[in-house]
Amino acid sequence: MTLTVRNLAVHYGRKTVIDGLYADALPGALTAIVGPNGSGKSTLIKAMCGDLPYDGTITLNGIDVFRAQPWELAAVRGVLPQTSTLAFPFHAIEVVKIGLTSGTEADHEGRASAALARVGLAGYANRYYQELSGGEQQRVQLARVLAQAWAPATASGPNWLMLDEPVSSLDIAHQLQVMRIAQNFARAGGGVVAVMHDLNLTGLFADQVLVMAEGQVLAAGRPADVMTDGVLSRAYGCDLRVNTAPQGMAPFVLPHSIDASGNAGFAE
C-alpha cells in the first residue's frame, strides 16, 4: 500500500521533462518534493495524480494510475492543485462539498463543515468563494481535498493527499497551520506527497525528501540526510549552507523558531 514510481518518463511534445525516474512514498509519512524551477517536480506530482500521459509505471495502493478510472483514484486520494479557478459564485461550503460523492447530503454537510473548521474557516461556510482572499481561497480548496480524502487510514488501506505547493500564497502562520494539518494526516496513517518551494518548512515537517534536478531524483531520504550543502547546492545551482547562522545585521525569521511541538500560537 504505497505510492511507487518506476522508470517514469514524461514528455511535453518533443521535450523530455522527466526521464527514467524511480521513487517511493509511504503512508504514515509526509514526502516532500523539492527542487529548482523547471526541475520537473510539478510534472512528477501531476503524473502521480494521473493528469498527464507518461511512460513507465506508477501505482497508488496497488492501483495502476494510468489505467485507473477517475473515480477509483478519487476514492483514495485528494489533489490540491497549484492554482484553482472557480467559474460560478459558489459558497465556500459548496466548493468543499463538490468533491463528495458517497454518503448522504447530511453526511456531506457535516464533513464539509468539519473540514472548513480544520483549516480555520469555520465561520466562512456561507461566504462567496470569489470574495475571499487568495489565502482563504487556497484553504477552502484544502478543505475540499481533506473532505474528499477524509479518513487518513481505512480498513482497505491508506488515503493520500497530493499537494502541489500547498503554502504558496499563505502567510507564515497559515503556512504552519497547513503543514501541521498535512503532518497530522500522515501521523494518523495517511500518505502525503507535497511539492514544496520552502526549504525551511520542508526541513521542519517532511519525513522524507525527494530532491529533484533536471528531471531526475538527485537524492532521496530523511531531511537530515539529503538536505546537505552539497546536494542542495548542486540541485539549485548556487552555493547554499545548511544550518549556518547568517552573518550581518539583516533580520531573519525561521518557522522553526515558533514551536516545534505543534502549537503555532493560535487556536485551531
Partner 1 sequence: MHVWLAVTLVVVGLFSLTIGATDVSLGPALQKVVRGQALTRTEAIVLWDIRAPRLALGVLVGAALAVGGTVMQGLFRNPLADPGLVGVSAGAGLGAISAIVLVGFAPAWLVRNVGDHLVPVAAFLGGWGSTLLLYRVSTRRGRTSVATMLLAGIALGALAGALSGILVYISDDRQLRDLTFWGLGSLGGASWAKALAAGPIIVISVLAACALGRGLNGLALGEATAAHIGLNVQRVKNMAILTVAAATGAAVAVSGGIGFIGIIVPHLLRLAMGPDHRPLLINAALLGALLLVLADVIARVIIAPAELPIGIVTAVLGAPVFLWILLRQRGMVDL
Member of 35, 94, 118, 192 binding partner 1 (CB under 8 A): 94
- Rounded CA-CA distance 143/92 in Å is 10
Member of 78, 120, 203, 223 binding partner 1 (CB under 8 A): 78
- Window of 46-54, 117-125, 227-235, 256-264 that interacts with partner 1 by CB under 8 A: 46-54
Measured from the CB atom, the residue of 169 and 200 that comes closer to partner 1 is: 169
75 binds partner 1 (CB under 8 A): yes
89 binds partner 1 (CB under 8 A): yes
The single residue listed with the C-alpha cell 517514469 is 8
Measured from the CB atom, the residue of 16 and 69 that comes closer to partner 1 is: 69
Measured from the CB atom, the residue of 73 and 112 that comes closer to partner 1 is: 73
Measured from the CB atom, the residue of 69 and 156 that comes closer to partner 1 is: 69
Member of 15, 88, 133, 246 binding partner 1 (CB under 8 A): 88
219 binds partner 1 (CB under 8 A): no
- Rounded CA-CA distance 107/81 in Å is 25
Q: Considering only residues 132 through 171, tell me which ones interact with partner 1, judged by CB under 8 A.
A: 148
- Window of 13-21, 72-80, 186-194, 212-220 that interacts with partner 1 by CB under 8 A: 72-80
